[in-house]
Structure 1
Amino acid sequence: MNEHLLNDDDVTLYGLFVEAYARIKPLVHRDLGIPDAWFEVLLRLGRTPGHQLRMTDLADAVSFSSGGFTRLADRMEKEGLIRRAPDPGDRRAALAVLTDKGEEALNRALTAHVHQLRTHVVAALPADDREHLARILRTLRDACE
């Protein structure tokens, strides 16, 4: 084994990122009342002007394959949280639209989510560190497009 690479600072940095996320995610997704994946979809739709996105864009945003996302969307549509609508700009595409029931579920989930975020993330970081972390995460996200 290459001991030098095993102990490389960049490997350690990435490992810390993965470990922190793995520990934080179950805490901040506790008590949502809906599955994590549903929450991610509803949150993306809720934060988008018009509360609708093309199905393919939404699948990309929540890191699902198109087939996996279609099954997820089918379940969410059956529960009345989203509905599909034709995309007026592209007749081959469909939009996922947040329904009133989906908005209610998102509001309930966000109440729990924000409480957990403030307890397990925000409380652990001073304001300056939160600003730096936000800048770093945006830089990483944008560098990988």
Structure 2
Amino acid sequence: MSDPKIGLEAWRAMLLAHSAAVRAIETDVQRGGTVPLAWYDVLLELNAEGKKGLRMAEVADRVVLSRTRVSRLVDEMVRAGLVTKRPEPDDRRVSWAVITDEGVRALRKTAPVYLRSIERHFSAHVSDEEAAVIGKALLRVAESGKTVRPV
């Protein structure tokens, strides 16, 4: 991109859209009487791995939360019976998170509310062509950031 002003405007628009959509989706999920949006995000990632689960560091890499926040969040989910944690047999510093059957039920209950909310607060405002361009561009940005680790 040759014009930094255009890049800055796109960045600002992305942040504003993200903030507005996530707040609206969180509200819809809360009104739906389901698990909080952050819990849903964790359950979705754990469900994809099945009974194998994910190392806590992997959970943190896959969700949009700080590592410290993920640890507290998973502990809350353990207390709610949605997730179990188990230590790595060869390295006690490593913990695994695994979705429980109750977690799968919570995920399935939340999914329709979440998907309707995405349609309402995001998809309804962009054409299929715009969504394809946005998705491709943002995935390219996300991929470029995978090699950068926070300090």
Give the structure-2-normalised TM-score.
0.79
Deviation at 1:88, TM superposition (A): 5.8
Is the Cα contact below 8 Å between 1:51 and 1:98 reproduced in 2?
A: no
1:44 aligns with 2:45: yes
1:123 aligns with 2:124: yes
Deviation at 1:13, TM superposition (A): 1.4
Instruction: Tell me the residue number matched to 1:17.
Output: 14
Deviation at 1:37, TM superposition (A): 1.9
Task: Provide the secondary structure at the position in 2 that maps to 1:34.
Answer: coil
Query: How many corresponding residue pairs?
Result: 139
Deviation at 1:18, TM superposition (A): 0.6
1:29 aligns with 2:26: yes
1:104-134 per-residue CA deviation (whole Å, 9 max, x = no partner) reads 1111111101011112222222222222221
Give the structure-1-normalised TM-score.
0.82
Is the Cα contact below 8 Å between 1:31 and 1:109 reproduced in 2?
A: no
Instruction: Tell me the residue number matched to 1:3.
Output: none
Question: Per the alignment, do residues 71 and 12 of structure 1 end up closer, same or farther by CA in structure 2, a change over 3 Å counting?
Answer: same
1:72-91 per-residue CA deviation (whole Å, 9 max, x = no partner) reads 21111010010012346755
Higher relative contact order (CA 8 A, sep 6+): 1
User: Which residue identity is paired with 2:109?
Assistant: R
Shifted more, 25-34 versus 113-122: the winner is 25-34
Matches within 5 A, 1:1-145: 8-32=5-29, 33-48=34-49, 50=51, 52-87=53-88, 92-145=93-146
Is the Cα contact below 8 Å between 1:30 and 1:112 reproduced in 2?
A: no
Alignment RMSD: 2.2
Deviation at 1:102, TM superposition (A): 0.7
Question: Per the alignment, do residues 12 and 45 of structure 1 end up closer, same or farther by CA in structure 2, a change over 3 Å counting?
Answer: same
Identity of aligned residues (%): 27
Q: Mind listing any 5+ residue stretches in structure 2 that lack a counterpart? A: 147-151
User: Which residue identity is paired with 2:35?
Assistant: I
Q: Mind listing any 5+ residue stretches in structure 1 that lack a counterpart? A: 1-6
Question: Per the alignment, do residues 123 and 89 of structure 1 end up closer, same or farther by CA in structure 2, a change over 3 Å counting?
Answer: farther
User: Which residue identity is paired with 1:19?
Assistant: L
1:10-32 per-residue CA deviation (whole Å, 9 max, x = no partner) reads 22111111111111112223332
